[in-house]
Structure formats: C-alpha cells, structure tokens
Structure 1
C-alpha cells in the first residue's frame, strides 16, 4: 500500500511558498491485525527524508 508524504522544501534556495518536498513510501507487512497507522509511523521515523524526498513546485 503506497502512501505519499509531504513536508517543507529540502533545497533552502527554493521559495518556501512555492515548493514542498514529497516522498512516496510503499511497505509490506505480514500481519494485518495490528494498527496500520502505528506500523507506518514506526517505519518512516528513521527514513532519511533529505536523501529520499524530492522538491516539487506547487
């Protein structure tokens, strides 16, 4: 199941009003009995956002 996440821009030279960063995350889990939100929150916490996400003009 893919989820897209958005945040402020990565490149400080870009206009913060016109740009934001985004990252699409796909994950797989064996057990669907637990909370998906808790699983995703734990999984994305350690992702290196600045290395993986891309800036996008609004």
Structure 2
C-alpha cells in the first residue's frame, strides 16, 4: 500500500489540528489562537464576542 504525497499532507494536517485543539482545551496554547478564549460579556447578559 503506497501513500501519496496528498495523503501524507492530509494526515499531517489532521494531526496538527488535533494537537492544536488539545492545546487550546488545556490552556497551554500561546499565540493568536489564545485570543479566541477571551470573551467580553454582551450588554444583554448573554454570551460574549471574541476580544480582538
């Protein structure tokens, strides 16, 4: 069974995305992805919007 270059890239991308999600959940991710965890409350008391 031979793996094409495209399959190799897809597997690497999937592994990297999974690792990033785990880092975000654990709170150990540094960089631009971390800003999405900080939210500011809305005036109506509902959820929040990401702080940019």
Shorter chain as normaliser: what TM range? under 0.3
Query: Normalising by the residue count of structure 2, what TM-score does the alignment of the two structures yield?
Result: 0.26
Query: Normalising by the residue count of structure 1, what TM-score does the alignment of the two structures yield?
Result: 0.24
Greater strand fraction, Structure 1 or Structure 2 = 1
Which structure's relative contact order is higher, taking Cα pairs within 8 Å and 6+ residues apart?
A: 1
Greater helix fraction, Structure 1 or Structure 2 = 2
